[in-house]
Structure 1
Amino acid sequence: MTLAAQSLFDYSVQVGDSRYDPSFNYIWYQDRGQLNTRFTAWYIPGLLYRAEGDDIERGIAAIESVLDTQYTKNYEAAWYGTFKDAADIPDPKPGLYEPEIFESYDPNWREFIGTQLVQVVEEFSCLLSKDLILRIEDAVEAAAVGGMRRNGTFPKDDNLTSEYSNIAIMRALNVGCIGTRRNNQTLIEFARQSGNDIMALFQREGQNVLGEYNAPNYYGIVNWALAANIAYGPADAPMTLGAPLIIRELWKDIAAHYNPFLGNMAGPYDRAYTRDATTHSAIISLTWWGVFGREYGPQPLRGEPDLLYDVVQGAAIALVVNHIAENIDDDTASVLKAKGCAGLMIGAYTVKTDKGWGDQFVPAIVHWASEPEHSTYPYNGFFSLYPTTTAIEAVAGPSSLTISYPDSTAEGADIFTFALSGIPPSWTLPSKKGNMITGFDNLPCLGVNVSAPGLLQLEVVYGVQLRDHFIYNISYAVPANFSGTPQIEFELKHTC
């Protein structure tokens, strides 16, 4: 293990140690329940690899605790083969704990925990009894069978297709590995078809992009899944063979979006929790850490709450991160480790859908250095369009952003809402500059000229939380008697 990977591994296990309950053999973390199944599964490889003191005994006990939380009683249930979010919650049951996908049960835990069990049985079988190995295989098989039922519409409200990159790639590993271990041709063929579908989508029209595109958080999980496929997948499986290509092209694209001065990837984001990975963790940061060292890439403070969430998986990632490193070419690596000076970046794209977007979708965003002297990175200010309607035309230029709603009659096309965050205290504290945010006209280190013909700026409101960020809501309403295409245009200049 390299020094960079070892550093990630050590911090991950340290965080796990601080939350481990030896009586329950579980990690404490408040998320629907108190004893977190996924965090416990992620802690296991750290214990078995470190192998100090009673680590191995704890690791084996934790495996048994995780296996006990798998839903296997009702084969017909939508949650068959997945795992409880937490050991201390009830099974889904009408009236008690309403069966609802991503609420009372998470179907993706089959893939998250299943791939973790794959790593455990492939890396550490010499430490496990034959009986425990069989139980792990049984669990992975149940997870695989449950996962194979998902097709984007079934069970009710399901969303797993090849476009759901991180889960689809993990499912291919689960199904392929257990199919090979048990010589089950049905599972082997399903995994092969899944891998072929993922690769065909990735390479469609020569694009070499994933369905979950420019998603800093889920790029981290994708990297785990790809590296694990290389490390543990069947040698002749399409996903095992295709993973190096995806890693290579993915990191080229990450490098193309990365601003080394701001420490962030430019938007827009298909899916994002944090909009600023230097202050709130994105899982891609763990890969950067494990490959290059924590001095590179977007890295929040070690005690940042989202990092303390994400880094629990760090030990598992550290064990396979060499497969990522070996597939990043030298030119790409030089960009990913570079320094920079560009204090402004803008990202946007044009999209249309027939359903709502949700708050992970960021169709247009502006980042700038709102306090360049801040270290380790400049303090990042940003404002992003909150998607309220189904058709958005957004165009980014070197110093401009134009957004319009081509379907002005669609629901939500009567307002442009922007989330502004990252205003440093030196700008607003009365003892400093004492500025008040009243719109885009008075921002630190950013000159903004707004053109919004016919639109009405609403009063700015502060205090709502958008994912990780407390924001100023700056909105422009489209009057009821407006005619034409609603549009807003920004001319931008970094002034520091």
Structure 2
Amino acid sequence: MLFKSLLTVAAGLLALPAQATRMTQHAKNMFYEEMTFLDNLYDPVAGYLYYFYYPLAAGPHETRSTVWYATGLLQRNEGNDTAHAVRIIKDVIANQEKNVSAQWFGDYTVYPEQPTVGSPSYVPVIYNSWDPNWRGFIGTTLIMIYEEFGYLIREDVQQLILESLYNNTIGDSYRVGGVDGDNLYPSYSNPSLMRAVVTGWTGNHCNDSNMTAAGEAYAQEVIDLFNLNDTLSEFNVPTYYGVSLNALTLWAKYMPASSVMNQNGPRMVADIWTAFGQFYNAKLQNLAGPWDRSYGYDMNKYVAIMSLYIWSLVGRDHVFSGTEKPWLLTHADDGEFIPLVAVLSEFHRSLVPDTVIDQLKSFSEERTVSRQAYTPPFDLEVRNISTWLSSDLQIGGDSYNQTVVGGASQDSTSFSPAVVHWLRAATPLQDASVGYFTLHPSEKSMQARIAPNQLNLTYPAGNASSIFTFVVASNPLGGKRDVTGLGDIDGVTITIGDGSTVNPEPTIAFCGLVGGTCSLIQ
């Protein structure tokens, strides 16, 4: 096996710290609340977390979240925590894909009960039977475990981590955007940032200068693209900003001073947070749109990883309406990312501008924000993003021209190029809440013009068959159940402007949990 060559290469292991990582007080509160929940998901017989919050998954376990949990176990380090964490590390690495000639070499199982990828009963389908991004998610976590908690695990387990990361990196080098169904370009921000640090860090620790150079070269491509607009190509993303920030924190904390990752990581973290603060409305507790990718439309009702960062920085009262339990929300499984946010919280806080901390606590002033982002090769031109925010209403739109609807993710269901949020009054059965509508895109190009209280959308290549489809929040409990027109939408008045070429009377469908006339979207 390829990893055997490392047994002599990486014989000299680094001296490692001898105490748990310091967490901010808010992060500590978040950490222990989540660990209590994850303890209930842990199956000590199997040594894995159960596959939480996935349809039809009763019984199977899940790999990625289990490695995140192992990080939390090592941070907590009570009772048998470390023994369980070591078992997790060994079992996950034992199931790593071993066919060096396969596209998925060095990847990890999505869930441990699955057959071997490429076996007769398990046809390899990228982002389905195997997920290449698991190398980044699990690889970055193994780096954190090695760096922060090496003193808790024996030298042979440290060596096993290095071997796994070496194979991980070799396999990840097989990824080329546009080849074999892969979409990994430097503009696919979150896996690109993870790839760079896993490659560079592993090269350094395994004394492989070619691997180190590959990590540095790939990081420089990502940095060059970032520098065009001082932002990531994957822009304004409530979930994947969090993944990218985690990777960049590793750039800043673990890479040597000579690395372009160490030199640029802190600045990039600060720039991402600055953009986030500009688009964030603390009163609505929502990142204003448009969003390149999102798994929900109201951050009070689904778990976005950026909400976890906000929690760690300014406290529980500033996320999820201050009362919602993360494990009861949509996409609740992303709460399993909490151990990573918490472990790095003290260091990460040092990279966040103080002005952003203030923006996370309260909404300060009405404003219009304009930014640009660029995602080659999917963008045919730079995207122009504009958003108007007031305390109770915010409107954002994206002018774009793409090769495929959804850009790098090639997913129209997570691409939200026009988004409106507003504050809804309390009803007898529900506290004040956030309403929204968002464009469900169907065209490869659109022009958006934003002004206070106005959203103007145009399809440059549109024709008589083009449609505008909006996903609209159901009215709050206690409000009107049946929506027959724009006037029935709770908390906001919507009018079609003079001169518009659309039919002012929309066709209305309900996408229900147990019936309706359309399919669910996020």
Gap change, CA 1:87 and 1:473, over 3 Å in 2: closer
Cα distance, 1:311 vs. partner? 1.9
Instruction: Say which of 407, 415, 424 aligns to 2:467.
Output: 415
Distance in 2 between residues matched to 1:178 and 1:423, nearest whole Å:
51
The 5 Å alignment of 1:7-406 reads 7-29=29-51, 31=54, 34-72=60-98, 74-93=99-118, 96-154=121-179, 156-204=180-228, 207-297=229-319, 300-306=324-330, 308-339=332-363, 342-357=391-406, 358-371=412-425, 378-406=432-460
Distance in 2 between residues matched to 1:96 and 1:261, nearest whole Å:
51
Once the two structures are superposed, residues 48-85 of structure 1 have per-residue CA deviations (whole angstroms, 9 ceiling, x without a partner) of 1211111111111111111122101x111111111010
Gap change, CA 1:194 and 1:377, over 3 Å in 2: farther
Distance in 2 between residues matched to 1:106 and 1:374, nearest whole Å:
46
Which letter does structure 2 place at the counterpart of 1:421?
Answer: A
Retained in 1: the 8 A contact 2:320–2:326?
Answer: no
Distance in 1 between residues matched to 2:462 and 2:361, nearest whole Å:
44
Gap change, CA 1:446 and 1:472, over 3 Å in 2: farther
Distance in 2 between residues matched to 1:243 and 1:113, nearest whole Å:
20
Gap change, CA 1:276 and 1:314, over 3 Å in 2: same
Once the two structures are superposed, residues 282-305 of structure 1 have per-residue CA deviations (whole angstroms, 9 ceiling, x without a partner) of 110111111222222456433324
Retained in 1: the 8 A contact 2:327–2:333?
Answer: no
Distance in 2 between residues matched to 1:182 and 1:295, nearest whole Å:
44
2:496 is the counterpart of 1:450:
yes
Cα distance, 1:315 vs. partner? 1.2
Distance in 2 between residues matched to 1:109 and 1:301, nearest whole Å:
27
Once the two structures are superposed, residues 352-404 of structure 1 have per-residue CA deviations (whole angstroms, 9 ceiling, x without a partner) of 11223221100101111123579998411111111111111122211111111
Aligned equivalent of 1:5: 27
Distance in 2 between residues matched to 1:179 and 1:283, nearest whole Å:
29
- Comparing 289-298 and 181-190, the one that deviates more: 289-298
Runs of 5+ in structure 1 lacking a partner?
430-435, 475-496
Retained in 2: the 8 A contact 1:388–1:413?
Answer: no
Gap change, CA 1:375 and 1:136, over 3 Å in 2: farther
Once the two structures are superposed, residues 183-223 of structure 1 have per-residue CA deviations (whole angstroms, 9 ceiling, x without a partner) of 1011110111122111111111xx21101000011011111
Distance in 2 between residues matched to 1:218 and 1:376, nearest whole Å:
30
- Comparing 128-137 and 20-29, the one that deviates more: 128-137
Runs of 5+ in structure 2 lacking a partner?
1-22, 365-389, 407-411
Instruction: Say which of 437, 450, 474 aligns to 2:483.
Output: 437
Instruction: Say which of 447, 461, 469 aligns to 2:509.
Output: 461
Distance in 2 between residues matched to 1:322 and 1:472, nearest whole Å:
49
Cα distance, 1:426 vs. partner? 2.2
Cα distance, 1:325 vs. partner? 1.1
| SS, match of residue 80 in structure 1 | coil
Cα distance, 1:12 vs. partner? 2.5
Cα distance, 1:441 vs. partner? 2.2
Gap change, CA 1:351 and 1:368, over 3 Å in 2: same
Distance in 1 between residues matched to 2:196 and 2:281, nearest whole Å:
33
Distance in 2 between residues matched to 1:375 and 1:112, nearest whole Å:
41
TM-score (norm 1): 0.87
Distance in 2 between residues matched to 1:332 and 1:6, nearest whole Å:
21
Gap change, CA 1:36 and 1:187, over 3 Å in 2: same
Retained in 2: the 8 A contact 1:297–1:337?
Answer: no
Distance in 1 between residues matched to 2:312 and 2:40, nearest whole Å:
21
| SS, match of residue 436 in structure 2 | strand
How many residue pairs get aligned? The number is 459
Retained in 1: the 8 A contact 2:193–2:219?
Answer: yes
Gap change, CA 1:145 and 1:344, over 3 Å in 2: same
Cα distance, 1:457 vs. partner? 4.0
Gap change, CA 1:423 and 1:248, over 3 Å in 2: same
Cα RMSD (Å): 2.5
Which letter does structure 1 place at the counterpart of 2:511?
Answer: G
